[in-house]
Amino acid sequence: MTDTTAMSSENKMLELSHSSMQLYHSCARKLEFRKFYEYSKWEESVPASVGQALHRGYQQYLINPDDKEAAIWEMMKAYPLKWQKTENDLRSMQASYMTLLAMMAYPAMEDYELAYLNINGEMKPAIEVPFRIRFRNVEIPGYDLSYIGYTDAILYKKSADQYTVFDIKTHRDTSYDLTPKYLFDTQCIPYAIVLEHILGKKINTLTVNYFTAFVDIMQPDIQIFQFEKTKQDVQDWLQGLYLDILAIKQYKELNFFPRDARSCVLWGRPCPNLEFCHSRDPALINHMLALAAAAATDAAPKHKIKPWIDFEIEIGV
């Protein structure tokens, strides 16, 4: 499952991902601080932390559907209890428990079973499958460029004899039909390329399922929104990524990543880069960031990806 093409030991790593490209599209300056200055102030949030806990619980259930208690325990261990004030919080542990029960009881999932992948001779459950995609025809000087990610789950649909990807989404969105939210979502599109490499054959369409869970203590709501991602969708994603990389390369060469003032305040909080953003002087910025890092107690945890699937492709025109 691993390509033998080596990266240069002289270059720095530049790992793009769905989340970092979202950051780039919200404000290119934020991407500059995150990826080129390697500064990221850790900002934990209740929705993200609760979502991660429910991911852990449900993924454990996919691995062993006969042991629901193990799934509940995984969710409870990961739950950010420090944020909970009372059991009436909308995303309380009690609400998460009831939501996880509803997720495990969802009848449409009976037609699916978890896929297992042969990774270097070891069969591993297809949960949080780490991958790296590298590019033959686009580069940023001084950096080993790649696109990384994790698939939530790869499942096998028994009635259709088909492998499909599942993306677990937890939310408090009161809209009943979330189709417009996920119809053109690009997060799962690279999974089609990854799945081709796993199966060793071309895939004309990829079935993507958004397994959504409305977190609530009284009325948790579970739905699946299914979309067929075609070769054109994959090509559109690759073309868009290619153009974004060319723009990032130009910004880096000019030492000018543009700001977007609409992103200076998000969710009622100022951008963590705001105190450094006035400067364009790399030496001054590095000095200020070093002082900030020395005083910080909330630095973002660094995870070095160890991809199961690692390959190279050509993108662009």
Per-residue pLDDT of the chain (317 residues; tens, 9 = 90+): 544 445 555 889 999 999 999 999 999 999 999 999 988 776 678 899 999 999 999 999 999 999 999 999 999 999 999 888 887 799 999 999 999 999 999 999 999 999 999 998 999 999 999 999 999 889 999 999 999 999 999 999 999 888 999 999 999 999 878 999 999 999 999 998 998 888 888 888 889 999 999 999 999 999 999 999 999 999 999 999 999 999 999 999 999 999 999 999 977 788 888 888 999 999 999 999 888 877 665 555 566 789 999 999 988 76
Q: How far apart are CA 228 and CA 185, in angstroms?
A: 12
- The C-alpha R_g of the chain, in whole angstroms, comes to 21
The per-residue pLDDT for 4 is 44
The alpha carbon of 293 is separated from its chain's Cα centroid by a whole number of angstroms, namely 25
Q: Which residues touch 182 (CB under 8 Å, ≥6 apart)?
A: 169, 210, 225, 227
Q: How far apart are CA 12 and CA 14, in angstroms?
A: 6
* Dihedral sign from CA coordinates of 56, 60, 66, 69: negative
Backbone angles phi, psi at 276, to 5 degrees: -105, -15
Does the residue 151 lie in any domain?
A: yes
CA distances from 19 to 80, 88, 111, 135, 151 (A): 21, 31, 31, 19, 13
| Phi/psi-derived region of residue 120, left when phi > 0, alpha when psi is between -120 and 50, beta in every other case | left
Does the residue 3 lie in any domain?
A: no
Q: How far apart are CA 259 and CA 299, in angstroms?
A: 23
Instruction: Name the pTM for this structure.
Output: 0.89
Does the residue 7 lie in any domain?
A: no
CATH number at residue 198: 3.90.320.10
Domain that holds residue 280: 12-311
Give the orientation angle of helix 68-78 with respect to helix 46-63, to 10 degrees: 160
Hey, which bits of 121-197 come out as E strands? 122-125, 127-135, 143-157, 162-171
CA distances from 210 to 131, 187, 225, 255, 260 (A): 20, 11, 5, 39, 30
Q: What's the domain count of the chain?
A: 1
Q: Which residues touch 158 (CB under 8 Å, ≥6 apart)?
A: 111, 112, 113
Does the residue 215 lie in any domain?
A: yes
Does the residue 6 lie in any domain?
A: no
